[in-house]
C-alpha cells in the first residue's frame, strides 16, 4: 500500500511556535524532490514534546499543503492507548491517508499488551495503520511473531522497522501477506531492507536530500540494482552523520544551515555541540547541500 521514499518530516519552530511558512516550504521541497509520502508528527517531528494542539495543527497543515499529491501518514502513537485512539481519530478526520503508531514507550508493555494496544486502536479507528518498532527509543521490542499476528487485522497494513535487525525484517516479510509493507526506519539500512523484501523507507535523510533517497528507491523498483547500491553507498556518510546526536537535532541543524528554517528545538532537545556542528557542515558541503 505504501512504498518508496517517505519522509519523516521535521517540525520547524520560530520563537517557540510552529513556523508554518517554513513547514509549508519544506513540504513542497521534499515533494519536488520526489518523495512518495510524508510523515508528520513522528520522532523526527518532535512529537514527544508537541502539545496536543500543536500535534493536531501540524497534521492539519500537512494535509492542507500536500493537497493529495502524496499520501500523508500521520504519527499518532502514544504510551497511552486512549491517547493514541484520540490522535488517530483526529488524523482520519483531518484527511490523513494513514497513521503511524509507535510502540507504547516507557511503560514497556508485554507482547500481549502490544497486541491488545494495537487491536484497540485498529478497532476504534477506521484508517490504515502502520506499526512502528524502534526499541532504542521506546524500551520495548516488538517481536516478529507479534507483527505477524497484528498483520492479520485488516487496517494494520505495514510496519516501520527500526530495530536494525535484518533477520527480523526477513522473518516479517516471509510470514506476512504480500500486501503488508515493510518500511525501513533507519536510513543506513534502507537498501539492505529493500533487499530483504522491504517496500521502502520512512527516511530522515529525505528532509535534506529527498531527490537522492527517492532515486535509490526508484532505481530498486526499476530493477537497476547497481544504481540502487551505488546511491546507498554514496549516502552512507550523510546517513550516519545525521545521527551523530539525537535525531532530529542534526537534521534540523542541517536544514537551518541550508537556510530553510531556524535552528530551534523543543527542550529537552538542544543545539548541537560545536565539534559535531562543524563535522555536519563539512559533510553537507561534500554533498552539495551548502556552499
Residues designated as active site: 132, 160
Give the chain as a DSSP string.
Answer: ---EEEEE----EETTEE-HHHHHHHHHHHHHTT-SEEE-SSTTTTGGGS-HHHHHHHHHHHHHHHTTSS-BEEE---SSHHHHHHHHHHHHHHT-SEEEEEPP-SS---HHHHHHHHHHHHHH--S-EEEEE-HHHHS----HHHHHHHHTSTTEEEEEE-S--HHHHHHHHHHS-TTSEEEESSGGGHHHHHHTT--EEEESGGGT-HHHHHHHHHHHHTT-HHHHHHHHHHHHHHHHHTTSSSTTHHHHHHHHHTTSS-----TT--PPPHHHHHHHHHHHHHTTS--
Amino acid at each position: 500500500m505504501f512504498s518508496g521514499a517517505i519522509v519523516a518530516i521535521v517540525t520547524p519552530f520560530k520563537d517557540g511556535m510552529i513556523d508554518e511558512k517554513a513547514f509549508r516550504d519544506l513540504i513542497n521541497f521534499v515533494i519536488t524532490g520526489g518523495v512518495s509520502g510524508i510523515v508528520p508528527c513522528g520522532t523526527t517531528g518532535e512529537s514527544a514534546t508537541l502539545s496536543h494542539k500543536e500535534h493536531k495543527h501540524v497534521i492539519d497543515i500537512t494535509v492542507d499543503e500536500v493537497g493529495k499529491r502524496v499520501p500523508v501518514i500521520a504519527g499518532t502513537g502514544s504510551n497511552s492507548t486512549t491517547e493514541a485512539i484520540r490522535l488517530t481519530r483526529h488524523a482520519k478526520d483531518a484527511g490523513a491517508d494513514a497513521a503511524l503508531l509507535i510502540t507504547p514507550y516507557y511503560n514497556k508493555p508485554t507482547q500481549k499488551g502490544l497486541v491488545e494496544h494495537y487491536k484497540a486502536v485498529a478497532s476504534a479507528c477506521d484508517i490504515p495503520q502502520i506499526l512502528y518498532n524502534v526499541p532504542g527509543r521506546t524500551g520495548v521490542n516488538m517481536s516478529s511473531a507479534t507483527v505477524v499476528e497484528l498483520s492479520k487485522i485488516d487496517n494494520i497494513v505495514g510496519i516501520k522497522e527500526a530495530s536494525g535487525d535484518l533477520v527480523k525484517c526477513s522473518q516479517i516479510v516471509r510470514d506476512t501477506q504480500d500486501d503488508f509493507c515493510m518500511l525501513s526506519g533507519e536510513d543506513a539500512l534502507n537498501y539492505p531492507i529493500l533487499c530483504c523484501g522491504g517496500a521502502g523507507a520512512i527516511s530522515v535523510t529525505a528532509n535534506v536530500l529527498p531527490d537522492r533517497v527517492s532515486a535509490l528507491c526508484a532505481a530498486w523498483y526499476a530493477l537497476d540494482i547497481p544504481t540502487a547500491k551505488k546511491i546507498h553507498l554514496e549516502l552512507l556518510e550523510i546517513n550516519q552523520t545525521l545521527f551523530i546526536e539525537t535525531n532530529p537535532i542534526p537534521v534540523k541543524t542541517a536544514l537551518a544551515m541550508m537556510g530553510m528554517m531556524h535552528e530551534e528545538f523543543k527542550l529537552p532537545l538542544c543545539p548541537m555541540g560545536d565539534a559535531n556542528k562543524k563535522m555536519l557542515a563539512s559533510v553537507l558541503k561534500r554533498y552539495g547541500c551548502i556552499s
